[in-house]
Amino acid sequence: MLQTSSNQLPVTASGLMKFVETTEGRLDILQHIDLQVSSGEAVAILGASGSGKSTLLGLLAGLDEASAGEVRLFDTPLSSLDEDGRAALRAGKVGFVFQSFQLLSGMTALENVMLPLELAGHKSPEQAAKEALSQAGLAKRLHHYPSQLSGGEQQRVALARAFAPSPKILFADEPTANLDAHTGERVAELLFRLQEQSDTVLILVTHDEMLARRCDRRLYLREGRLEAEA
Protein backbone atom coordinates (compact mmCIF):
# COMPACT_ATOMS: atom_id res chain seq x y z
CA MET A 1 0.00 0.00 0.00
CA LEU A 2 1.32 3.39 -0.94
CA GLN A 3 2.54 5.27 2.11
CA THR A 4 2.82 9.02 1.61
CA SER A 5 2.39 12.02 3.84
CA SER A 6 -1.37 12.61 4.01
CA ASN A 7 -1.09 16.34 3.26
CA GLN A 8 0.15 15.48 -0.23
CA LEU A 9 -2.54 12.94 -0.96
CA PRO A 10 -5.68 13.87 -2.85
CA VAL A 11 -7.70 11.00 -1.32
CA THR A 12 -7.29 9.29 2.02
CA ALA A 13 -9.63 7.13 3.99
CA SER A 14 -8.96 5.80 7.47
CA GLY A 15 -11.00 3.42 9.57
CA LEU A 16 -13.93 3.94 7.22
CA MET A 17 -17.06 2.03 8.13
CA LYS A 18 -20.58 1.91 6.82
CA PHE A 19 -23.36 -0.07 8.40
CA VAL A 20 -27.11 0.08 8.47
CA GLU A 21 -29.52 -0.95 11.16
CA THR A 22 -32.03 -3.56 10.00
CA THR A 23 -34.77 -5.44 11.82
CA GLU A 24 -32.34 -8.33 12.08
CA GLY A 25 -29.59 -6.24 13.61
CA ARG A 26 -26.65 -4.26 12.28
CA LEU A 27 -25.55 -4.96 8.73
CA ASP A 28 -21.92 -4.07 8.05
CA ILE A 29 -21.33 -2.98 4.49
CA LEU A 30 -17.82 -1.61 4.80
CA GLN A 31 -15.42 -2.36 7.64
CA HIS A 32 -12.27 -0.49 8.63
CA ILE A 33 -11.27 0.70 5.19
CA ASP A 34 -7.92 2.44 4.93
CA LEU A 35 -6.88 3.93 1.62
CA GLN A 36 -4.43 6.51 0.34
CA VAL A 37 -4.33 7.54 -3.30
CA SER A 38 -1.52 9.69 -4.70
CA SER A 39 -1.72 12.35 -7.40
CA GLY A 40 -2.15 10.96 -10.90
CA GLU A 41 -2.66 7.44 -9.61
CA ALA A 42 -5.30 5.12 -11.07
CA VAL A 43 -6.82 2.71 -8.58
CA ALA A 44 -9.29 -0.03 -9.44
CA ILE A 45 -11.67 -1.37 -6.82
CA LEU A 46 -12.96 -4.79 -7.72
CA GLY A 47 -15.55 -6.90 -6.06
CA ALA A 48 -18.55 -9.07 -6.54
CA SER A 49 -22.02 -7.56 -6.95
CA GLY A 50 -23.27 -6.29 -3.61
CA SER A 51 -19.77 -6.19 -2.11
CA GLY A 52 -20.11 -2.46 -1.37
CA LYS A 53 -18.06 -1.01 -4.25
CA SER A 54 -20.53 1.77 -5.10
CA THR A 55 -21.04 2.50 -1.40
CA LEU A 56 -17.31 3.01 -1.02
CA LEU A 57 -17.22 5.22 -4.09
CA GLY A 58 -20.09 7.31 -2.68
CA LEU A 59 -18.26 7.74 0.64
CA LEU A 60 -14.96 8.67 -1.01
CA ALA A 61 -16.72 11.25 -3.22
CA GLY A 62 -18.54 12.76 -0.27
CA LEU A 63 -21.94 11.77 -1.63
CA ASP A 64 -22.74 9.84 1.53
CA GLU A 65 -21.69 10.00 5.15
CA ALA A 66 -19.67 7.27 6.80
CA SER A 67 -20.89 5.51 9.94
CA ALA A 68 -17.36 5.75 11.31
CA GLY A 69 -13.88 6.70 10.18
CA GLU A 70 -12.79 9.56 8.00
CA VAL A 71 -12.34 10.51 4.36
CA ARG A 72 -10.10 13.39 3.38
CA LEU A 73 -10.13 15.00 -0.04
CA PHE A 74 -7.20 17.36 -0.63
CA ASP A 75 -6.49 17.03 3.06
CA THR A 76 -9.91 18.33 4.00
CA PRO A 77 -11.84 15.95 6.26
CA LEU A 78 -15.25 15.48 4.69
CA SER A 79 -16.82 15.00 8.12
CA SER A 80 -16.01 18.63 8.90
CA LEU A 81 -18.13 19.78 5.98
CA ASP A 82 -21.85 19.84 5.54
CA GLU A 83 -23.55 18.75 2.32
CA ASP A 84 -23.04 22.10 0.68
CA GLY A 85 -19.41 22.24 1.77
CA ARG A 86 -18.80 18.84 0.22
CA ALA A 87 -20.55 19.95 -2.98
CA ALA A 88 -18.31 23.04 -3.11
CA LEU A 89 -15.28 20.81 -2.69
CA ARG A 90 -16.43 18.64 -5.59
CA ALA A 91 -17.23 21.54 -7.90
CA GLY A 92 -14.60 21.59 -10.65
CA LYS A 93 -12.25 19.29 -8.72
CA VAL A 94 -14.13 16.02 -8.79
CA GLY A 95 -15.52 14.31 -11.85
CA PHE A 96 -17.83 11.33 -12.21
CA VAL A 97 -18.47 8.71 -14.84
CA PHE A 98 -21.41 6.39 -14.32
CA GLN A 99 -22.44 3.04 -15.63
CA SER A 100 -25.73 4.51 -16.90
CA PHE A 101 -24.04 7.64 -18.38
CA GLN A 102 -26.37 10.02 -16.48
CA LEU A 103 -26.67 12.49 -19.33
CA LEU A 104 -29.56 14.95 -19.21
CA SER A 105 -31.79 13.79 -22.02
CA GLY A 106 -33.13 17.19 -23.10
CA MET A 107 -29.68 18.75 -23.36
CA THR A 108 -27.34 18.45 -26.30
CA ALA A 109 -23.91 16.86 -25.92
CA LEU A 110 -22.39 20.34 -25.72
CA GLU A 111 -24.86 21.51 -23.09
CA ASN A 112 -24.26 18.39 -20.99
CA VAL A 113 -20.53 19.02 -21.00
CA MET A 114 -20.98 22.70 -20.23
CA LEU A 115 -22.98 21.89 -17.08
CA PRO A 116 -20.10 21.17 -14.61
CA LEU A 117 -18.08 24.01 -16.14
CA GLU A 118 -20.87 26.44 -15.41
CA LEU A 119 -21.30 25.07 -11.91
CA ALA A 120 -17.58 25.58 -11.31
CA GLY A 121 -17.83 29.17 -12.57
CA HIS A 122 -15.65 28.57 -15.65
CA LYS A 123 -15.05 31.74 -17.68
CA SER A 124 -15.72 30.28 -21.13
CA PRO A 125 -17.65 27.07 -20.58
CA GLU A 126 -18.73 26.66 -24.20
CA GLN A 127 -15.20 26.81 -25.56
CA ALA A 128 -13.88 24.41 -22.93
CA ALA A 129 -16.77 22.02 -23.55
CA LYS A 130 -16.15 22.04 -27.29
CA GLU A 131 -12.48 21.22 -26.71
CA ALA A 132 -13.37 18.38 -24.35
CA LEU A 133 -15.82 16.90 -26.85
CA SER A 134 -13.28 17.28 -29.60
CA GLN A 135 -10.76 15.32 -27.53
CA ALA A 136 -13.39 12.65 -27.06
CA GLY A 137 -13.80 12.47 -30.86
CA LEU A 138 -17.23 14.02 -30.83
CA ALA A 139 -16.54 17.37 -32.52
CA LYS A 140 -19.27 16.63 -35.04
CA ARG A 141 -21.79 15.56 -32.44
CA LEU A 142 -21.92 18.76 -30.39
CA HIS A 143 -25.58 19.46 -30.97
CA HIS A 144 -26.89 15.93 -30.80
CA TYR A 145 -29.16 14.86 -28.00
CA PRO A 146 -28.32 11.74 -25.98
CA SER A 147 -31.10 9.81 -27.70
CA GLN A 148 -29.41 10.53 -31.04
CA LEU A 149 -26.11 9.01 -29.85
CA SER A 150 -25.01 5.40 -29.49
CA GLY A 151 -24.19 3.96 -26.06
CA GLY A 152 -20.45 4.38 -26.67
CA GLU A 153 -20.90 7.95 -27.82
CA GLN A 154 -23.01 8.73 -24.78
CA GLN A 155 -20.31 7.42 -22.49
CA ARG A 156 -17.72 9.47 -24.39
CA VAL A 157 -19.87 12.57 -23.80
CA ALA A 158 -19.94 11.57 -20.13
CA LEU A 159 -16.14 11.31 -20.15
CA ALA A 160 -15.83 14.70 -21.83
CA ARG A 161 -18.13 16.12 -19.20
CA ALA A 162 -16.08 14.52 -16.44
CA PHE A 163 -12.71 15.78 -17.75
CA ALA A 164 -13.79 19.19 -19.08
CA PRO A 165 -13.31 21.07 -15.77
CA SER A 166 -9.86 19.40 -15.38
CA PRO A 167 -10.75 17.56 -12.18
CA LYS A 168 -8.14 16.44 -9.73
CA ILE A 169 -10.05 13.25 -8.99
CA LEU A 170 -12.32 11.17 -11.19
CA PHE A 171 -14.66 8.59 -9.74
CA ALA A 172 -15.82 6.05 -12.30
CA ASP A 173 -18.54 3.52 -11.54
CA GLU A 174 -18.50 0.57 -13.96
CA PRO A 175 -17.96 2.89 -16.95
CA THR A 176 -17.99 0.10 -19.52
CA ALA A 177 -20.52 -2.24 -18.00
CA ASN A 178 -23.37 -1.07 -20.24
CA LEU A 179 -21.32 -1.32 -23.43
CA ASP A 180 -20.32 -4.16 -25.74
CA ALA A 181 -16.69 -5.36 -25.56
CA HIS A 182 -15.46 -3.40 -28.54
CA THR A 183 -17.13 -0.14 -27.56
CA GLY A 184 -16.12 -0.70 -23.95
CA GLU A 185 -12.50 -1.04 -25.04
CA ARG A 186 -12.63 2.25 -26.98
CA VAL A 187 -14.21 4.03 -24.03
CA ALA A 188 -11.59 2.58 -21.67
CA GLU A 189 -8.82 3.79 -23.95
CA LEU A 190 -10.26 7.25 -23.95
CA LEU A 191 -10.70 7.19 -20.19
CA PHE A 192 -7.09 6.31 -19.51
CA ARG A 193 -5.76 8.65 -22.20
CA LEU A 194 -7.60 11.57 -20.69
CA GLN A 195 -6.58 10.54 -17.20
CA GLU A 196 -2.91 10.42 -18.16
CA GLN A 197 -3.07 13.72 -20.01
CA SER A 198 -4.65 15.54 -17.08
CA ASP A 199 -2.76 13.72 -14.35
CA THR A 200 -6.04 13.08 -12.60
CA VAL A 201 -6.50 10.59 -9.79
CA LEU A 202 -8.79 7.85 -11.06
CA ILE A 203 -10.75 5.69 -8.69
CA LEU A 204 -12.50 3.08 -10.76
CA VAL A 205 -15.08 0.67 -9.49
CA THR A 206 -15.49 -2.34 -11.72
CA HIS A 207 -15.86 -6.06 -11.86
CA ASP A 208 -13.98 -6.18 -15.16
CA GLU A 209 -10.48 -7.58 -14.51
CA MET A 210 -9.24 -6.44 -17.93
CA LEU A 211 -10.21 -2.90 -17.27
CA ALA A 212 -8.80 -3.04 -13.76
CA ARG A 213 -5.43 -4.20 -15.08
CA ARG A 214 -4.96 -0.87 -16.82
CA CYS A 215 -4.85 0.81 -13.41
CA ASP A 216 -1.77 1.38 -11.27
CA ARG A 217 -3.27 -0.52 -8.40
CA ARG A 218 -6.03 -3.06 -7.93
CA LEU A 219 -7.88 -3.44 -4.66
CA TYR A 220 -10.47 -6.05 -3.84
CA LEU A 221 -13.50 -5.54 -1.70
CA ARG A 222 -14.40 -8.76 0.06
CA GLU A 223 -16.91 -9.01 2.91
CA GLY A 224 -16.69 -5.30 3.47
CA ARG A 225 -12.90 -5.19 3.73
CA LEU A 226 -10.48 -3.75 1.22
CA GLU A 227 -7.57 -5.96 0.26
CA ALA A 228 -4.62 -5.28 -1.99
CA GLU A 229 -3.99 -7.67 -4.90
CA ALA A 230 -2.40 -10.82 -3.71
Partner 1 sequence: MNPLHLALRLLRRDWRAGELRLLATALVIAVASVTSVGFFTDRIERAMERQATEVLAGDLRIESNQPLPDTFIQEAERRQLQQASTLSFPSVILSKGATQLVQIKAVSDRYPLRGHLRVRDSVTSPESITSLLPGPGEAWLEERLLPLMGLAIGDTIKLGQSSFRISRIITYEPDRSANLFQLVPRVMIGLNDIEKTGLLGPASRVRHYLLVAGSPSQMSHYKTWLEQLNLSGIQIEDIRAARPELRLALEQGGRFLRLAAATAILLCVVAVALSSRRFVERQSDTSALLRCLGAKRRQVGQIFILRLLSLGVIASLVGVLLGLVVQALLIHLIGQWFTSQIPAPSAWPLVSGLITGILVLIGFSLPSILRLSEVPPLRVFRRHLGAPPISYRLFLGAAIISLGILLIWQIGDDLLASQLITGLLVGMAILLIVSRLLVHLLAPLRNRTAGSWRYGLSSLSRNPATTSVQLTGFGLGITVLLLLAIVRVDLLSNWREALPENSPNQFLINIQPGEVEGVRKLLIEGGIKLTGLFPMIRGRLISIDGHQVSLDDYDNPRAQRLSTRDFNVSHATYPQSDNKIVSGHWWSETEWNEPWFSVEQGLAETLGIPLGAELVFEVAGRKIAGRVASLRSVEWDSFNVNFFVVGTPGLMLDQPATYITSFYLADEKRHLLHRLIQTYPSITALDVTALMQQIRAIMDRGALAVESVFLFTLAAGLIVLYAGIQASHELRVQETAILRTLGLSRRRLVISALLEFSLLGGLAGLIAAVLASAISYSLANAVFNLPWQLNFSMWAIALLGGGLGVGSAGIIASWPLLNTPPLVVMRKM
Nearest to 88 by CA among 62, 123, 112, 66: 62
C-alpha–C-alpha distance, residues 84 and 78, integer Å: 11
Q: Name which of 96 and 220 has its Cβ closer to partner 1.
A: 96
Query: Who's near 181: CB < 8 A, 6+ residues apart?
Result: none
Which x/- pattern, by CB under 8 A, does the window 153-192 give for partner 1?
--------------------x-------------------
Q: Among 33, 42, 57, 109, which residue sits at the site for partner 1 (rule: CB under 8 A)?
A: 57
Nearest to 187 by CA among 166, 159, 146: 159
φ and ψ at 106, to 5 degrees?
-90, 0
C-alpha–C-alpha distance, residues 95 and 148, integer Å: 24
- Give, as ranges, the residues between 35 and 54 that touch partner 1 (CB under 8 A): 54
Q: Name which of 46 and 94 has its Cβ closer to partner 1.
A: 94
Q: How many residues at the interface with partner 1, by CB under 8 A? A: 32
152 touching partner 1, by CB under 8 A: no
φ and ψ at 29, to 5 degrees?
-100, -45
Which x/- pattern, by CB under 8 A, does the window 115-134 give for partner 1?
xx-xxxx-------------
Q: Please, what is the minimum distance in Å from the beta carbon of residue 66 to partner 1?
A: 12
Q: Please, what is the minimum distance in Å from the beta carbon of residue 224 to partner 1?
A: 17
Choices 12-20, 26-34, 95-103, 133-141 (CB under 8 A): range interacting with partner 1: 95-103
Q: Please, what is the minimum distance in Å from the beta carbon of residue 104 to partner 1?
A: 6
Q: Name which of 123 and 140 has its Cβ closer to partner 1.
A: 123
Q: Please, what is the minimum distance in Å from the beta carbon of residue 41 to partner 1?
A: 22
63 touching partner 1, by CB under 8 A: yes
61 touching partner 1, by CB under 8 A: yes
Sign of the alpha-carbon dihedral angle for 36, 39, 168, 196? negative
Q: Please, what is the minimum distance in Å from the beta carbon of residue 196 to partner 1?
A: 23
Q: Give me the residues that bind partner 1 (CB under 8 A), please.
A: 54-55, 57-58, 61, 63-64, 83-84, 87-94, 96, 98, 102, 104-107, 111, 115-116, 118-121, 173
